[in-house]
Amino acid sequence: MTDSLSSSTQTNTDSSLEPRVLVFDSGVGGLSVAREIQQRLPGLSLVYASDNGFFPYGTKGEAELIARVDKVINTLLRQYPVDILVIACNTASTLTLPHLRSQLTLPIVGVVPAIKPAAQQTQTGVIGLLATPATVARPYTHELIREYAPRCEVISLGSSELVQLAEQKLRGESIEQAAIAQIIHSLLAHEQSAHMDRLVLACTHFPLLKEELATELPASVQMIDSGEAIARRVEYLLQGRMGTTAIPSENIAVFTKQTTEAERLEAALKNFGIYRQDYLAI
């Protein structure tokens, strides 16, 4: 367990700079959230952090994941002062938010499965939930379903393979559409799936595969993720802070391990206005 931080080391105190947000995930998934934030707040500076040294999160035990996220976030905040922390990972958010909030003073925005909007929008009462195996099993997720979708049939599928496919896609590698077809096929094998009209993408990696997923889904199924809601929340928290004269600082991607896979993300990161890659000693 690392030391908790005083607020002066956590926040971006230089008022000549635009506010800066730290978007954190186990890998490239958080970029789907970063994209929504950038669309809403184009001047905002971004530190994108990927804990690729401990990827994937979706197969890790709870205690080891809490300890790891604690350690990485504390190290990141010491090195990269920011105004807001976005845990752009359902697997981490559904487990670690109470712990992070109890020891950090900066605003923290987490991403959790979009069960509530799906339950509000469904016409048939049948919702799909696609997430990591860990998120599907989390008590937090079950509680969301109990609270917001008590009368819905929720068809859940946990897939780590989809997470890996999203990583491959962003590295510019070709991905097997047949692999995606097989995953969606097992979701559609459920006896109620013919009535499913909403599919919650409850892993931030999955919106990066939206086109590939859409190819395999019936046209009547609409996909829902939490990216836009997160961006709205960040905008709300930064109200009045986005200036017209302040200087945006350079966007940075930070990895917890130097690997050839991370280096191969250079082209994808440029699409997010990120031209610098750092490595964190952890």
Q: Among residues 89, 144, 170, 184, which is the contact residue for ligand DGL, using CB under 6 A? A: 89
* Contact positions with ligand DGL (CB under 6 A) in 5-44: 25-27, 29
Q: Among residues 205, 226, 227, 252, which is the contact residue for ligand DGL, using CB under 6 A? A: 205
Q: Which residues contact 225 (CB under 8 A, 6 or more apart)?
A: 32, 114, 200, 201, 202, 204, 206, 207
Contact between 109 and 86 under an 8 Å Cβ cutoff? The reply is yes
Interface with ligand DGL includes 135 (CB under 6 A)? Answer: yes
Q: Among residues 163, 184, 221, 238, which is the contact residue for ligand DGL, using CB under 6 A? A: 163
Interface with ligand DGL includes 204 (CB under 6 A)? Answer: yes
Say whether 89 is catalytic.
Answer: yes
Q: Which residues contact 193 (CB under 8 A, 6 or more apart)?
A: 126, 128, 155, 187
Compute CA distances 117 → 49, 74, 130, whole Å.
Answer: 28, 32, 15
| Separation between Cα atoms, residue 268 and residue 170, nearest integer Å | 6
Interface with ligand DGL includes 56 (CB under 6 A)? Answer: yes
* Tokens encoding 185: 């096929």
Catalytic residue among 154, 165, 203, 280: 203
- Minimum Å gap between C-beta 206 and ligand DGL is 8
DSSP characters over 165-223: HHHHHHTT----HHHHHHHHHHHHTSTTGGG--EEEE-STTGGGGHHHHHHHS-TTPEE
Q: Among residues 11, 12, 90, 251, which is the contact residue for ligand DGL, using CB under 6 A? A: 90
Say whether 152 is catalytic.
Answer: no
- Minimum Å gap between C-beta 161 and ligand DGL is 10
Interface with ligand DGL includes 141 (CB under 6 A)? Answer: no
**What residues act catalytically?**
89, 203
Give contact residues for ligand DGL (rule: CB under 6 A). 25-27, 29, 55-58, 89-91, 132, 135, 163, 203-205
